[in-house]
C-alpha cells in the first residue's frame, strides 16, 4: 500500500508559483494575476507558492484569493523552505510560473517547463539558459527594459499589461 500511495503521489502534477523578486518591486507581477492563473490550473495541478521571508505579503495575498475562490489544493511555502528544500520542490514540478528570479534559473537547471514574466529587466541577458521548455512573456514598450528597481515613470505598465490570459496561453506552449 505504501508503494502504491507513493506512486500516486508522484503522479500528481505540481505547478510552482514564484511571485517574488529580490531585485525590486518593479520585477513583481501582481498577486491577483498569479491567483487567476492558479485558479484556472487548480483542477489539473497541485499549487505550490514559493517565496522568501521578505515575500510573505505577496504569497499570502495569493493564498487569500485562492481561499476566497474555494481553491484548497495548494501549499504556501513562502518563508518556509531552505535552499535544499527549494531545490527539491522545484525539481519535482510539472510547471513553474515565475518572474525574473533566482528560482527561475533553478527551474532551468532541471529543465522544468517554465513561464517567466519579464518586466523591467532584459530577457536577452537574464532569461533561462539552456531550457528549451521555457517561455518568456513581456510587453514591447518603449520604456522597457529600464532595469530599474522601481518604475521611474510610475505606471509599471511592463507588468500591469501582462494578464493571466497571456500566461495561460504561454503554458500551452511549454506543457
pLDDT value of position 5 = 44
The SS3 call for residue 128 is coil
pLDDT band at 51; cut points 50, 70, 90: very high
Question: Mean pLDDT, to the nearest integer, of 34-46?
Answer: 96
pLDDT in tens, 64-117: 999 999 999 999 999 999 999 999 999 999 999 999 888 999 999 999 999 999
Using alpha carbons only, give the angle 55, 60, 61 rounded to the nearest 5 degrees.
105
Taking alpha carbons only, the member of 165, 156, 161 closest to residue 138 is 161
Instruction: Please provide the distance, in angstroms rounded to a whole number, between the alpha carbons at the two ends of the chain.
Output: 31
Regarding predicted confidence, which is higher, 1 or 40? 40
pLDDT in tens, 108-149: 999 999 999 988 787 877 777 778 888 999 998 888 888 887
Q: What is the DSSP string of 52-80?
A: -GGGHHHHHHHHHHHHHTT--SEEE-TT-
pLDDT value of position 22 = 63
The pTM assigned to this predicted structure is 0.88
pLDDT value of position 7 = 46
What φ, ψ does residue 16 adopt, rounded to 5°? -100, 135
pLDDT at 34 over 80: yes
Amino acid at each position: 500500500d505504501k508503494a502504491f500511495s507513493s506512486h500516486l503521489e508522484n503522479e500528481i502534477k505540481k505547478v510552482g508559483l514564484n511571485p517574488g523578486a529580490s531585485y525590486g518591486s518593479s520585477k513583481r507581477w501582481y498577486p491577483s494575476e498569479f491567483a487567476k492563473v492558479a485558479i484556472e490550473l487548480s483542477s489539473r495541478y497541485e499549487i505550490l507558492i514559493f517565496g522568501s521571508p521578505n515575500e510573505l505579503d505577496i504569497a499570502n495575498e495569493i493564498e487569500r484569493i485562492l481561499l476566497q475562490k474555494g481553491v484548497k489544493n495548494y501549499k504556501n511555502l513562502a518563508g518556509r523552505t531552505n535552499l535544499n528544500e527549494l531545490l527539491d520542490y522545484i525539481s519535482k514540478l510539472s510547471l513553474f510560473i515565475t518572474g525574473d528570479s533566482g528560482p527561475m534559473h533553478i527551474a532551468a537547471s532541471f529543465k522544468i517547463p517554465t513561464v517567466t514574466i519579464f518586466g523591467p529587466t532584459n530577457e536577452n541577458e537574464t532569461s533561462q539558459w539552456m531550457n528549451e521548455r521555457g517561455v518568456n512573456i513581456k510587453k514591447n514598450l518603449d520604456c522597457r527594459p529600464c532595469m530599474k528597481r522601481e518604475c521611474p515613470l510610475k505606471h509599471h505598465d511592463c507588468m500591469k499589461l501582462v494578464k493571466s490570459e497571456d500566461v495561460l496561453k504561454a503554458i500551452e506552449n511549454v506543457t
